[in-house]
Chain A
Amino acid sequence: MAKNVLTQENFSILEQSIDRHRGIKGPLMPILNDVQKTFGCVPLEVQQKISEELNIPFSEIYGVVTFYSQFSLEPKGDFVIGVCMGTACYVKNAQPILDKIADIIDTKVGETSKDGKFTLVATRCIGACGLAPVITVNEDVYGRLKVEDVPGIMEKY
């Protein structure tokens, strides 16, 4: 089933968020946070809507959305896989693990799989160097990994 994020329901939540933040100083960030949570991304239509409602230039909003990594232009997958590429993980062979995951879910780094299930991200140090090399799948953390462990982990999802 096609899941369209541009639903009436989502837009009505957007409108409420805009109304709630209208008139406060710096309304853009809280609204964008709401949008990211509701829509799973900050699509073009939403940016234009905010631009027109709050009289903030469209390009400025796009600039903010592309500046902060917490916002995305397209919906992320159900599971966001973060492969730590910090120094410790990197020297402990994070690269082959990243390659293996990319291979299994057939998705390039920074992209979302065709079925919309996985998004693959190469992260900076997540501060779990003792567990290097480490990956996260949403809230789950897997440490001291070997390439052979990867297929087993992926099967869980």
Chain B
Amino acid sequence: MEKVTLTIDNIQVEVPKEYTILEAAKATGIDIPTLCFLKDINEVGACRVCLVEVEGARSLQASCVQPIYEGMVVKTNSKKLRNVRKSTVELLLSNHDRECLTCFRNKSCELQTLSEELNITEIPFNKRDTVHPVDTKSEAIVRDPNKCILCGRCVNVCKVEQGIGILDFTKRGVETEVTPAFNRGLNEMPCIQCGQCVSVCPVGALKEKEDIDRVWDVIENPEVHVVVQTAPAVRAALGEAFGMPIGTRVTGKMVASLKRLGFDQVFDTNFAADLTIMEEGHELLDRIQNGGKLPMITSCSPGWVKYCEYNHPELLENLSTCKSPHQMMGAIVKSYYAKKHSIDPKKIFMVSIMPCTAKKSEAARPELQVNGLQDVDAVLTTRELAKMIKQARIDFMKLEDAEFDPALGDYTGAGAIFGATGGVMEASLRSLKDLVDHEDLKKIEYHNIRGISGIKEGEITLGGAVIKLGVAHGTANAEKLLQMIESGEKEYHFIEMMGCSGGCVNGGGQPHVPVSKKMDLDIRVERAKALYQEDTVKEFRKSHENPLVKKLYREFLEKPNSHRAHELLHTHYTARVKYPAADLPEVKEMVIGLLEEKVGVSG
């Protein structure tokens, strides 16, 4: 790697030639403030917070986009820079809805932190008094333009990483806003509600639709039997909300906190993940053996499923008919568990703690129900759970580890790794190999499909036949993989798709991590480590060995893909029009009416 030498704040450093000033400074231990910057996704130099002085340059340079050269002399801290950065942020703040005390990003806001670091004590500019309506129409995501600082991170994470582009800059000058086309609600756009925009927003302009109070209400209602389940990825990130290092596994404390919050039963979505493997694995075998639709594509990620429904209606039959694990759990709780414990299913309230915002809208899908009852009644993100724990004044760090409740809380290592990209595939392979080839394989780790490269491939032999595997995460990568299939470049039998880059560990509902920290480490990798660690400590690491899963089939479901299993655990998909509002008669009428009015209807 070619290197160049430059001087930053009188320190001489040698760094790779491709670095920007920002990266060179970071490598030198000098922390230049940033606001709009998002590595590989939003490198636009728009916010002007990262300005530095470069000797010989006519003006101050945005260090996040400025390449370095041999002999460059950079200053990152001077009176001029402190003043300029301060003024820049003061101007941003003058347009920003500064209700920090009541903002959900209070204490996790990057603008707030920056304001403190730059020692801003007053804002010398008048506040703009225009108030924009807050968009609350989506089932999962709330957009508050009054807090938007036009950094463009959400625009580009949606466009670049997800390949969708729901939000963009509109209008110009002082009127500039980040909005969907025609300032529509997010519910009127082909938004998959993955929440990546929420994840990268430095302020409180984008957030999940909070459901905490409804959950508190049922917890305090003695008539309601409140059951909670936790997705695999939650335990890999919840600790961050309490100051623990990224990638700390907090399974035991998480369970203890849920018990303290007052949930009647604490179950694990990992158990349902094991169940999913049984259903999905047998579905794949059935498709292979009986000429069913291939490739079969996983359906655990509601972001991916929505993407497919909007953009690839021709592939709906390729999606596995399996419900996602937490929906399966809900269905089993309201049938098998209710019956076994003589509880009226109508009195059960099922809460899912998910690393995901899209799960909120998934749970509301009308087809995901059992006997007229929704499988899942409320979905809270990892962030919302952290808030509840704080509200209840539980000292998370001092909690003694607790165990999931035994009725539906037992899981294998295979279920645990569902939360990382490649995990669903790996879990499937562990069981399929054994079940088809009647072996008890000891080599069960499939490293070629682990990790964060965008598209991963592998193949295995199953009953003598070669099965080709594809894995993609982030919908832009998913699209790329689909294009390769369409062009005939690739052929697969089984594909795992996850809507978010890195899989659920990096879901839109996980605790916010400031970008300065994301430059030091890859949160997708660190959080995934926690899941693979959980995998290795489990006694059973293959889904079909889960004693509870075996018992469930023996006592209730009979066998995978049985009639009852289909009723409870499988679903169907709907082709969706990308822009439904344009097809609504009133909108059409309005647009045409507007035009007619303009050109005169008198005649």
Provide a sorted-by-A list of 18 A–B residue pairs whose CB atoms are within 8 angstroms.
A2-B603, A3-B596, A3-B600, A5-B595, A5-B599, A6-B595, A44-B182, A57-B165, A57-B166, A58-B180, A58-B181, A58-B578, A59-B179, A59-B180, A60-B168, A66-B172, A67-B171, A114-B597
- A114: B residues at CB distance < 8 A: 597, 600
**1/0 per residue B150-186: CB within 8 Å of A?**
0000000001000011111111100000011110000
Known contacts A3-B599, A60-B159, A61-B181; is-contact A48 B582 (Cβ 8 Å): yes
**Looking across the interface, which residue of chain B has its beta carbon closest to that of A112?**
B598
- B169: A residues at CB distance < 8 A: 63, 67
Residues of chain B at interface, number, CB under 8 A:
30
- B1: A residues at CB distance < 8 A: none
B172–A6 touching, CB < 8 Å: no
Of the candidates A43, A56, A75, the one whose C-beta lies within 8 Å of that of B599 is: A75
Of the candidates A45, A48, A117, the one whose C-beta lies within 8 Å of that of B600 is: A117
A62–B600 touching, CB < 8 Å: no
**Looking across the interface, which residue of chain B has its beta carbon closest to that of A67?**
B172
Q: Is A1 an interface residue (CB 8 A)?
A: yes
Further contacts, 15 of them, CB under 8 A, given A2-B601, A63-B170, A114-B600: A5-B599, A44-B582, A45-B591, A48-B582, A57-B159, A58-B181, A59-B168, A59-B170, A59-B181, A67-B171, A75-B595, A115-B600, A115-B602, A116-B599, A117-B600
Of the candidates A4, A47, A66, the one whose C-beta lies within 8 Å of that of B595 is: A4
How far does the Cβ of B596 sit from chain A's closest Cβ, in whole Å? 5
Of the candidates A4, A52, A66, A117, the one whose C-beta lies within 8 Å of that of B596 is: A4
- B578: A residues at CB distance < 8 A: 52, 58
The complex places the Cα of A61 from the Cα of B172 at a distance, in Å, of 14
Chain A, interface size: which category? 20 to 34
How far does the Cβ of B156 sit from chain A's closest Cβ, in whole Å? 11
**Looking across the interface, which residue of chain B has its beta carbon closest to that of A57?**
B165
Q: Is A74 an interface residue (CB 8 A)?
A: yes
A67–B170 touching, CB < 8 Å: yes
B179–A2 touching, CB < 8 Å: no
**Looking across the interface, which residue of chain A has its beta carbon closest to that of B588?**
A45
A59–B595 touching, CB < 8 Å: no
Within 8 A of B (CB), among A1-43: 1-6, 43
- A67: B residues at CB distance < 8 A: 169-172
- A61: B residues at CB distance < 8 A: 181
B582–A45 touching, CB < 8 Å: yes
Interface centre among A6, A62, A67, A75 (most CB of B within 10 A): A62
The complex places the Cα of A117 from the Cα of B599 at a distance, in Å, of 7
- B597: A residues at CB distance < 8 A: 114, 116
- A52: B residues at CB distance < 8 A: 578
A57–B168 touching, CB < 8 Å: yes
- B168: A residues at CB distance < 8 A: 57, 59-60, 62-63
- B57: A residues at CB distance < 8 A: none
The complex places the Cα of A48 from the Cα of B596 at a distance, in Å, of 20
Q: Is B537 an interface residue (CB 8 A)?
A: no
